[in-house]
Amino acid sequence: MIRSRVVQNTVWLTIGEIIGRLLRIILIFYSARVLGAAEWGISSYLLSWATLFTITTDLGLSAIVTRELVHAPERRRDHLSTFFFVKLGLLAISALVITLVVPRIGTFPLSTTLMISLATLVFFDSMRIIASTVNKARETMHYEAYSNIFTQAAILIIGFALLRAHPSTEGLNVAYAIGSALGTFYAFFLIRDYLPGLLTSFKRPLVRELVKDALPIAIVGLVGSIMLNTDIVMLGWMRTPTEIGYYSATQKIIFTLYVLPTLIASATFPAMARLMRDKGGFKIFFENVLKHALMIALPVTVGGVITAPRVIELFYGSAYLPATASFVILLLTIPNAFTTAIINNALIAHNSQKYFLTYAAIGLTCNAMLNFALIPLWGINGSAIATLITETITGIFVWRKLNALTGFAVPHGLTKTFIACGILGITTYGATLFQLPVLLVIGIAILCYVGTLTAVREPAIIRLTDRLSR
């Protein structure tokens, strides 16, 4: 029963996330082409601020409230009402910062419409987390999927309409604000049976209790969010909107690729947790997972580096080709992203998540200092280098921590993968010289890679082939 419910919830969350991301990507590619790098850069800059403020107005409270709703359902009104009013207080502070700080940091002016749309977006994105908290607590993940899809669809439809009528940064950001508002109203409609008492059951003593429990989560979440958005914010402080647009274009593709290691890590986490006390079994399983993850990450990196200009042109148009170098640099972070995602879950399985705060702090410090030093020298390429160095340092840190706990080694049997990647690289480069369509080149690269692994009898491919044949 429990297992069935977990599987069902996972499926619904996956569906919601995949469809939501696809809708988001469609609008990203369309708006980037319509607005151009400069206008789209301003929009990306404000959306990065929106992400930071949304995290700030949560402070890890949603996770703690979810737990309390599960453990003490008789007090749900008290917890939800207190959560709601704490959010309102944090949103008031955010509104003040948005008004006084954000317009003064960037190197370019921000209109009143943009600032209002930013504040509106932060408010409704933050409020929608309350509905998400309820859905997680009562395990109605299909409602969460509906809400996510509805919100992204609303933003996409309104965005298309406003950009066709009047292509501007203001139009795009207003679309995000209105779409988020509609999505929030819909999300609250789905949990309407939980809303009675939301405005009347505030309990002051609960505030300190919730904040105290949420503080460690808040710090890690905030640091992580800052790391993801530092590049764009600091580029807005030091460089032009056009450069922000170029960098944001590359970042969006990379972040989409980051979904792959997240899915692998999530799928393998239950097995890691079960094997935690079996050091030998865990070591074998972990090294096997890491090997298979690298079998995906390495060809994606090699193929991506070779086809980088064609990929940029395919998604964004030739106007964004100046972003190619930064895209290539960020592609080099993919192998580390794959391994780090899996190592992080392995540390959680060993109840060693306390190290996250340390390496998050190290990562944030490194990223901020390197961006400060390198952006004035090399612009968006400097920011990409800062990200690559930071990801490498934090990756080494978590690698060493897990190695000390489990004694795992670098996976064996990657020689065949390296050979296949080499042949993939040669074939892909040759295909690009013939000016073949980029999607055809990618298809050839995949067939070449899989074919080579099959020819050299890579066990993972043989097992997959056997399963498909059956």
Residue pLDDT, tens place only, 300-334:
999 999 999 999 999 999 999 999 999 999 999 99
- The dihedrals phi and psi of 305, each to the nearest 5 degrees, come to -60, -45
Query: Would you tell me how many other CB atoms lie within 10 Å of the CB of residue 388?
Result: 17
**Domain match, 190 and 265 both:** no
Instruction: Please say whether the beta carbons of 18 and 145 come within 8 A.
Output: no
**CA 32 from centre of chain:** 19
Q: Considering the chain, what percentage of its residues have pLDDT values greater than 90?
A: 42
Please tell me the distance from the alpha carbon of residue 370 to that of residue 301, in angstroms, as a whole number: 23
262 CB contacts (<8 Å, ≥6 apart)? 341
305 CB contacts (<8 Å, ≥6 apart)? 328, 331, 332
Question: pLDDT at residue 116 above 50?
Answer: yes
Question: pLDDT at residue 27 above 90?
Answer: yes
Question: pLDDT at residue 102 above 70?
Answer: yes
Closest CA to 128 of 24, 50, 32, 71: 50
Q: Which of 269-278, 330-339, 397-406 has the highest mean pLDDT?
A: 330-339
Per-residue pLDDT band for 5 (boundaries 50, 70, 90) equals low
Instruction: Please say whether the beta carbons of 154 and 182 come within 8 A.
Output: yes
Question: pLDDT at residue 463 above 80?
Answer: no
Closest CA to 213 of 54, 65, 57, 58: 65
**Domain match, 217 and 264 both:** no
**How confident is the model at residue 355, as a pLDDT?**
73
Instruction: Please say whether the beta carbons of 53 and 266 come within 8 A.
Output: no
Domain boundary among 213, 241, 269: 241
Q: Which of 17-21, 287-291, 402-406, 425-429 has the highest mean pLDDT?
A: 425-429
Domain boundary among 207, 241, 275: 241
Range of the domain at 251: 243-469
Question: pLDDT at residue 2 above 60?
Answer: no
**How confident is the model at residue 4, as a pLDDT?**
55
Please tell me the distance from the alpha carbon of residue 367 to that of residue 358, in angstroms, as a whole number: 14
Residue pLDDT, tens place only, 393-444:
988 888 888 877 777 766 667 888 999 999 999 999 999 888 889 989 999 9
Per-residue pLDDT band for 377 (boundaries 50, 70, 90) equals very high
Please tell me the distance from the alpha carbon of residue 176 to that of residue 79, in angstroms, as a whole number: 29
**How confident is the model at residue 6, as a pLDDT?**
53
Instruction: Please say whether the beta carbons of 431 and 388 come within 8 A.
Output: no
**Domain match, 70 and 157 both:** yes
Residue pLDDT, tens place only, 184-220:
999 999 988 888 877 787 788 888 888 777 776 677 6
Please tell me the distance from the alpha carbon of residue 34 to that of residue 193, in angstroms, as a whole number: 42
**Domain match, 50 and 95 both:** yes
Question: pLDDT at residue 164 above 60?
Answer: yes
**Domain match, 378 and 361 both:** yes
Please tell me the distance from the alpha carbon of residue 137 to that of residue 63, in angstroms, as a whole number: 9
**Domain match, 78 and 131 both:** yes
Domain boundary among 183, 210, 241: 241
**How confident is the model at residue 374, as a pLDDT?**
95
**Domain match, 220 and 259 both:** no
- Both tokens assigned to 187: 């999300």
Instruction: Please say whether the beta carbons of 319 and 37 come within 8 A.
Output: yes
Per-residue pLDDT band for 3 (boundaries 50, 70, 90) equals very low
How far is the CA of 184 from the CAs of 59, 144, 436, in angstroms? 19, 11, 45
Q: Which amino acid is at 369?
A: M
Question: pLDDT at residue 255 above 80?
Answer: yes
Q: Which amino acid is at 161?
A: A
Say how many domains are in the chain.
Answer: 2
Mean pLDDT of the chain: 86
Mean pLDDT of 90-118: 88
Please tell me the distance from the alpha carbon of residue 313 to that of residue 324, in angstroms, as a whole number: 9
- The dihedrals phi and psi of 255, each to the nearest 5 degrees, come to -65, -35
Which segments of 274-388 are extended strands (E)? none
**Domain match, 264 and 136 both:** no
Residue pLDDT, tens place only, 222-244:
776 777 778 888 998 899 999 99
* Helix 459-469 × helix 279-316 angle, to 10°: 80
Please tell me the distance from the alpha carbon of residue 324 to that of residue 356, in angstroms, as a whole number: 32
**Domain match, 64 and 9 both:** yes
Burial 282-297 (b: 16+ CB within 10 A, else e): beebbbebbbbbbbbb
**Domain match, 195 and 307 both:** no
Question: pLDDT at residue 97 above 50?
Answer: yes
Per-residue pLDDT band for 464 (boundaries 50, 70, 90) equals low
Closest CA to 9 of 52, 61, 66: 66
**Domain match, 139 and 172 both:** yes
**Domain match, 305 and 156 both:** no
**How confident is the model at residue 57, as a pLDDT?**
85
DSSP code, position 221: H
Question: pLDDT at residue 1 above 60?
Answer: no
Q: Which amino acid is at 171?
A: G
Q: Considering the chain, what percentage of its residues have pLDDT values greater than 70?
A: 93
